[in-house]
Amino acid sequence: MNIGLNSIFETLKIISGVAIFFVWVVRYKNIKKEFQDYQLPTWVRDLTGILKISFACMLQFSDPEIVRLGSLGISFLMAAAVITHIRLRSTFRKYIASVTMLLMSLSILYLSFS
């Protein structure tokens, strides 16, 4: 991978990790409210949080296989989030963050093969 792509790759990994940590730790009250508003069980919320934080940590490794697993996991969870927002007829403003994170995690997955 050339220097420019490697810089983008590393930047996306850091931004994704920080964003997930921020949303699931610092702004956890918002997550609790969102899952309540959408009438999702608390075990789904807790499992989602554990998986997202675990996958975000995996992005910070240098081993491409671990990074791929982390980005694939985040991609799956973000795709589920986008589908859930669409099924519940949320406004796009409510799920643009999910779409953005999905695109970032897919980009990390793609770049991990370079």
Is the C-alpha dihedral spanning 10, 11, 13, 17 positive or negative? positive
Average pLDDT of every residue of the chain: 96
- Is the model's pLDDT at 1 over the cut of 80? no
Exposed/middle/buried for 85, CB within 10 Å: 0-12, 13-18, 19+?
Answer: buried
The pLDDT tens digits of the residues spanning 28-65 come to 999 999 999 999 999 999 999 999 999 999 999 999 99
Per-residue pLDDT at 76: 98
Q: Are the C-beta atoms of 114 and 67 separated by less than 8 Å?
A: no
Which residue type does 53 have?
Answer: I
